[in-house]
Amino acid sequence: MLFNRLQDQFVAYQSVSVIFCCLYNQVSTDTKKVLVQSSFCLSFCEEIQIVEKMALKGLTVLEFAGLAPAPFCGMIMADFGARVIRIDRPQPQYSIDTLGRGKESICVDMKKPSGTQIIKRLCETSDVLIEPFRTGVMEKYGLGPESLLSVNPRLIYTRLSGFGQNGSLAKRVGHDINFLAISGLLSTLGRANERPHAPINLLGDFAGGSLLSLIGILLALRYRSQTGHGQVVDNNMTAGAAYLGSWIWKSQELPLVWGKSKGENLLDGGAAYYDTYETSDGKYMAVGALEPLFYSNLLKVLELDENDYPQFGGDQEYIRKALKGKFLNQTQKYWIDKFENIDTCCTPVLSLQEAALDSHNKTNKSFMIDSDGNSVPSPSPLLSKSPAITSAREDPVIGQHTHKILKEIDFTEEKIKELISTQAVMQNSPLNSKL
């Protein structure tokens, strides 16, 4: 009950603040000086002014619900001002998607003809569509690029798949580890004399998938601004991960960097001076002393003689053993203090919780508090003229905005009731809200 009252008060105060801001922009300078006595109201005014300047303001994005890659792509666009409408399929009210910040949700059964018609109506006035399915799925429901671009020739139709639209693997299921495997990158990851090791699903899903899809969308929007024409952005995580690894392919002839087996090279764990080391309290320090000056400084702090531990040409396992022994003798805090203001490229390995509390990260506002009261990364990069929204906005529940969105595309109340009764659409409301 207390939460409900607080939520109601917050929503009411937001409404009052919006009115305040509208009035604020119409009054004299002297009157403004009186109004701004309330800094809390002013913060809402500032946020509204930020919204007006956001880089992607005015764009409408349709994001078909999926797992991590498409939701992250959509969340970035929402953070920077786009209106993102997530098209959910009928299922339990709450989804496992944790990247819905700032989005709206319409729940549509696209297996029903009336459902596909709704999606086509949405496409008429949308700028971008993001679909995360295997090849042929959208075409199966009459929602392929040819169909939807005929409805709206300005549409940016984004395909974010695992293996692409063509080839023997196009219809195969897969996850980040599989996309990395086929891209060639997985073969380079892992320690020496061990099997390839896939990192957390960042390279394929988020970098090769989400971010490269977003780049494609922005490029297509630029082209549309010049020609008036939309197009298909076809990105798959296998090709995206490979492209992300272009430097690995193109740097194979660099001296000292490559030339040995996996896990024995400069940047893949082979160099003792580019590794992590445990401290006496079970924490870790990250060492990246690649340059000779930084390596010399590292050994000075550790009280090791560089003549005994030469950076190049020396036995790396011998050096690693010495570094391991030194770091293990003291706590992480001790080493943080010892390396402070000394150029060694040596930093503490922070946990997720520690990173949010770190003074450097606080100074740069690298983290913010989300709608659940948890610390999460702030939108990045920082734009000086058209910044992202960094306030806490809730993830939608599935179908939370169905009725509202249908009204916007000119469905009557009678038709909406019919669509709900036939389960072509679903309208849900968030818990703790008053209907």
Residue of 9, 5, 32, 10 whose CA lies nearest to 21: 32
Strand partners, 130: 63, 158
Strand partners, 158: 130, 233
Instruction: Say whether the peptide bond before residue 377 is cis (omega within 30 degrees of 0).
Output: no
Crossing angle (nearest 10°) for helices 212-227 and 237-244? 100
Distance CA 97, CA 135 (A): 22
Distance CA 284, CA 327 (A): 9
Backbone angles phi, psi at 310, to 5 degrees: -65, 140
Of residues 88, 176, 205, 395, which has the active-site annotation?
205
Report the run of H or E that residue 338 belongs to, with start and end.
Answer: helix 332-339
248: tokens are 């690995």
- Tokens 């297996």 belong to which residue? 111
- Tokens 């010049």 belong to which residue? 226
Residue of 236, 237, 210 whose CA lies nearest to 71: 210
Does the active-site annotation cover 109?
Answer: no
Distance CA 139, CA 61 (A): 20
Distance CA 245, CA 179 (A): 13
Does the active-site annotation cover 360?
Answer: no
395: CB partners within 8 A, 6+ apart: 97, 98, 99, 100, 101, 103, 371
Tell me the catalytic residues. Answer: 175, 205
